[in-house]
Structure 1
């Protein structure tokens, strides 16, 4: 989708908020100025405990709070920077320019859906063709801590939408099948992710209902961003790292959550390398 088409789509998404649209465009201009790049190829959003999962040449570090309308993330395990990262592609000898968000904002922090997806929209206006959204989630199946689930689909139980007005977007195939197939060899599971607003976790009855309805992992992020990016023509794929076992008789300690996230680093890095290679091949 061209930059002009994305501007039109952005106006459709925020028909009553011209000030927010101006912030998003200004944010994209700021990224371009600080990175020296006219555009980026891939957005990577790192979830709880995953902020140190990537390696590569950092072109620029931008505090997220420097972007208009983007608050500094305050949730534990989240970073506060947007990195411009150059990831080399060995086979082609080229480079994929990535925007890496080391943290995100959440509905449970009291932010509106518009604020939660502000960073994603800035990235879209920076020209990204694809986005990899990651999170740490609660598992409703008999899996293991650290299992990585490829997000095949989602259920929005937050009661929220990133749109203001009648924006009828087809999200039947929101999770890109081609990009997901690139990630699949690096995951041990695949399934459905559900968002709940939080910050409280779900009850036992809610967990039983979710599992019976086909949900595999549950969390408090990712879905608002995926919908907003899809509407702007960005291809979306996602990974959810099992950080909590909802039906376990023992509560999961925070140290176990962080350890599970750290254990996923090698697979996440390899998945990103293959994703970058796939994008480079499509140029």
Structure 2
């Protein structure tokens, strides 16, 4: 391991951001009617979570995520190429109805493009959501507040001598709010995908202290943390990884959709906390 002090987010070099990110940030500011406060990314099966939410206002604007320079249209099932802006509790919020994944083969840069644009638009907080395969004896539809992560993708959103301190990647104060709402709290592991893990990999992950596993979220969290954005996350138990039946992707989406009420409660608690 290289010697030297780990860098803090405030010390990060400006080369993480490019002109496309700044242009995307300008578009988000225009759409939101001012600088953003919060970025929300809705994961698999959660794209329509806000459509029937009585406490959420009508969106200020709707646009394609791919209208932002450098941001690709999501292609995964249950992900939509749409981004909305809202005014909620006095805060300007951008909500992405899906995300780009590493398994699409474009590398980490496009996966984190929306995160960079949101930072350029002024976002100080981010709420990342996803669906997971659970390694514990939990119930389908439970929502886990993400307290930490393990990166098993073999890649990073950074290149070069960027030695980021990740011990505080998941903001403790924001996560504590989610722990008070979600049924579970624990560690999320990310794999590249698109294949699901083998039984041997499942046993290895469980033995390593992982609670849930998926194919997203961590690249965004790392980039946002490096840029000084406070990050928290919720992960829906949508598959039991120790089950004997093969994983059914459509069933994963159905179960994730049933967790909407908890996701909405978590968002409301965070956005009401100022």
What's the TM-score once normalised by structure 1's chain length? 0.88
Paired residues for 1:163-174 under 5 Å:
163-174=158-169
Counterpart for residue 49 of structure 2? 53
Distance 1:155 1:56 in 2: 36
| 2:60–2:84 CA contact under 8 A, matched in 1 | yes
Q: Distance in 1 between matches of 2:31 and 2:133?
A: 37
Q: Secondary structure at the match of 1:190?
A: strand
**Offset at residue 61 of structure 1 (A):** 0.8
What does the per-residue CA deviation read over 1:74-115, in whole Å, with 9 as the maximum and x for residues that have no partner? Answer: 110001111111213xxxxxx221110111001100011011
SS in 2 for 1:244: strand
Partner of 1:17: none
Match of 1:34 among 31, 35, 59: 31
Q: Displaced runs of 4+ in structure 1, greater than 4 A? A: none
Q: Tell me how far 1:252 sits from its aligned partner.
A: 4.1
Shift of 1:155: 0.3
How far is 1:48 from its partner?
0.2
Q: How many residues align?
A: 261
Unaligned runs of 5+ in 1: 1-5, 15-20, 89-94
Q: Write out per-residue CA displacement over residues 214-239 of structure 1, whole angstroms, 9 at most, x where no aligned residue.
A: 00111110000000000111000011
Q: Flag structure 2 segments of 5+ consecutive residues without an equivalent.
A: 1-8, 51-55
The answer to which structure has the higher helix fraction is 1
> Paired residue for 1:253?
248
Give, in whole Å, the separation in 2 of the partners of 1:79 and 1:73. 6
Q: CA RMSD in A?
A: 1.6
Measured in 2, the distance between the counterparts of 1:7 and 1:105 equals 26
Alpha-carbon deviation of 1:251? 3.0
Normalising by structure 2, we get a TM-score of: 0.91
Q: 1:124-203, aligned counterparts within 5 Å?
A: 124-203=119-198
Aligned counterparts of 1:80 and 1:265: Cα–Cα separation in 2? 19
What is the CA-CA distance between 1:262 and the residue it aligns to?
1.9
Alignment partners' CA distance in 2, 1:187 and 1:97 = 24
| Residues 138 and 218, structure 1, Cα contact 8 Å, conserved in 2 | yes
Aligned residue in 2 for 1:68: 69
**Kept in 2: contact 1:10–1:232 (CA 8 A):** no
